[in-house]
């Protein structure tokens, strides 16, 4: 029987021989998760020069990654993603630790010590949209996976992998459906500086309108910064200010659409004509719009699993170029 070499171990794990050598020699550049996988595979293959200190521990060590979130009152959309993520990470003996950061940055804020003291092997960032806090997280020397980010934190600045729900083409297609139904005056509702996906959805709406020769009326668009906890109030203030109405609104999310639908239902007798709404996410949790509006269906189970697997890849390949991945939603066109 031929003796097992470091090349054999590297090929079995689809990594480089240099990475295997670094792990055996306890050199930097290899995550703890990947080290454990290398040691386990070497032991399984009967590698003769397997480091003695690891032979004594046949049980795979548990690892911990931090899930950084900023809104403990997250909707079902986010909790479904997180639940599926935790399930997938468990297959790799990885525990998911919740780490909360505030939704609003205040002077003197410091990241929780758990992110600074080497206790976690990687981090996944979801539902965090405060630029100052994201900049602090971005500088951490830990494998990082971002689900969305703010427009100001471009790929050139990002020191981690970025997964985005594709928004430009999806919103372009949603807007096109409205146009095909005969709508020519279409507004847009949603803070476009809050998240990169919001900005891309707005761009998709604008480009579709312009490509069909339709004017974008600023008076029908609410795109300014909107407070995280004041969406309903600010939407109502905007809608109250309208002297004329479009026939349809493209809403940046189902969350926004359901607030607008509440307003429309309350003011139905005062409105000049019926108003059609579209959304994004298709969470199903907002019963006043679920199954009634055009929206983009995002598979939260697939997204959660994808985030987990991307983190596993990143810990196995710490030197690989950072990746930008778009997850394309499908358009749900209810009658």
Span 216-254, pLDDT tens digits: 999 999 999 998 789 999 999 999 999 999 999 999 999
8 Å CB contact between 275 and 247: yes
What is the predicted pLDDT for the residue at 50? 55
Average pLDDT in the 193-208 region?
A: 97
Residue 8 pLDDT exceeds 80: yes
The structure tokens listed for 49 are 């020069």
Q: What is the mean pLDDT of the chain?
A: 89
For residue 27, what pLDDT band results from cuts at 50, 70 and 90? Answer: confident
CA distance 78 to 300: 8
Give me the percent of the chain exceeding a pLDDT of 70: 93
- Please say whether the dihedral angle defined by the alpha carbons of residues 234, 236, 237 and 241, taken in this order, is positive or negative: positive
Residue 51 pLDDT exceeds 70: no
Residue 55 pLDDT exceeds 50: no
Average pLDDT in the 134-149 region?
A: 95
Residue 117 pLDDT exceeds 50: yes
- Please say whether the dihedral angle defined by the alpha carbons of residues 173, 176, 177 and 183, taken in this order, is positive or negative: positive
8 Å CB contact between 167 and 201: yes
What is the predicted pLDDT for the residue at 318? 86
Residue 157 pLDDT exceeds 70: yes
Where is average pLDDT lowest: 58-62, 270-274, 330-334?
A: 58-62
CA distance 184 to 214: 6
What is the predicted pLDDT for the residue at 44? 77
Residue 3, number of CB atoms within 10 A of its CB: 9
Residue partners of 26: CB distance under 8 A and separation at least 6: none
Residue 192 pLDDT exceeds 70: yes
For residue 48, what pLDDT band results from cuts at 50, 70 and 90? Answer: low
Residue 321 pLDDT exceeds 70: yes
Q: What is the pTM of this model?
A: 0.81
Residue 329 pLDDT exceeds 60: yes
Residue tagged 């290398």 (tokens): 38
What is the predicted pLDDT for the residue at 34? 81
What is the predicted pLDDT for the residue at 73? 57
The structure tokens listed for 73 are 């009152």
For residue 13, what pLDDT band results from cuts at 50, 70 and 90? Answer: confident
Where is average pLDDT lowest: 39-43, 153-157, 241-245, 279-283?
A: 39-43
For residue 21, what pLDDT band results from cuts at 50, 70 and 90? Answer: confident
For residue 52, what pLDDT band results from cuts at 50, 70 and 90? Answer: very low
Between these two residues, 124 and 119, which has the higher pLDDT value? 124
What is the predicted pLDDT for the residue at 200? 97
What is the predicted pLDDT for the residue at 286? 92
CA distance 201 to 206: 9
What is the predicted pLDDT for the residue at 59? 43
């Amino acid at each position: 029987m031929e003796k097992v070499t470091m090349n054999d171990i590297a090929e079995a794990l689809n990594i480089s021989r240099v990475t295997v050598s670094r792990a055996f020699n306890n050199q930097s550049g290899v995550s703890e998760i990947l080290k454990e996988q290398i040691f386990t595979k070497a032991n399984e293959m009967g590698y003769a020069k397997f480091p003695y200190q690891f032979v004594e521990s046949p049980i795979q060590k548990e690892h911990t990654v931090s899930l950084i979130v900023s809104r403990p009152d997250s909707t079902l959309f986010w909790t479904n993603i997180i639940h599926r993520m935790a399930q997938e990470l468990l297959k790799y003996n990885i525990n998911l630790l919740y780490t909360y950061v505030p939704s609003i940055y205040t002077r003197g804020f410091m990241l929780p010590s758990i992110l600074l003291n080497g206790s976690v092997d990687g981090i996944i960032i979801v539902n965090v949209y405060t630029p100052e806090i994201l900049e602090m997280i971005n500088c951490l020397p830990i494998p990082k996976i971002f689900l969305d980010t703010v427009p100001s934190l471009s790929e050139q600045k990002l020191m981690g992998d970025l997964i985005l729900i594709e928004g430009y083409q999806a919103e372009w297609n949603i807007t096109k459906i409205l146009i095909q139904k005969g709508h020519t005056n279409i507004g847009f509702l949603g803070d476009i500086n809050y998240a990169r996906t919001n900005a891309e959805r707005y761009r998709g709406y604008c480009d579709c309108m312009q490509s069909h020769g339709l004017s974008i009326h600023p008076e029908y668009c609410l795109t300014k910064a909107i407070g995280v906890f004041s969406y309903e109030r600010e939407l109502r203030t905007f809608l109250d200010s309208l002297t004329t109405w479009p026939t349809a609104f493209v809403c940046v999310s189902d969350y926004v659409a359901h607030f607008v639908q509440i307003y429309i239902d309350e003011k139905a007798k005062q409105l000049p004509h019926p108003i059609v709404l579209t959304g994004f996410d298709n969470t199903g949790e907002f019963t006043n719009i679920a199954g009634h509006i055009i929206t983009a269906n995002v598979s939260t189970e697939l997204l959660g699993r994808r985030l987990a697997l991307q983190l596993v890849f990143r810990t196995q390949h710490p030197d690989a170029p950072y990746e930008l991945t778009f997850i394309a939603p499908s358009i749900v066109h209810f009658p």
